[in-house]
Amino acid sequence: MESPVTRLETVLISLPMLAGVLRRMHRLFLRVFRRAARFI
């Protein structure tokens, strides 16, 4: 069984990574959306 402290640490460590991935995906999505908007 995990202690809540280690779980909290894991969440705190993974949050910036998750934010970076989301930002990258958002940028990629915007690029694809702009390209698609041109064709429509």
pLDDT for 3 = 86
Q: CA–CA separation, 19 vs 16, rounded Å?
A: 5
Q: How far apart are the first and last CA of the chain?
A: 54
pLDDT for 4 = 84
pLDDT, tens only, 1-40: 678 889 999 999 999 999 999 999 999 999 999 999 988 7
Instruction: Name the DSSP letter for residue 11.
Output: H
User: pTM score, two decimals?
Assistant: 0.53
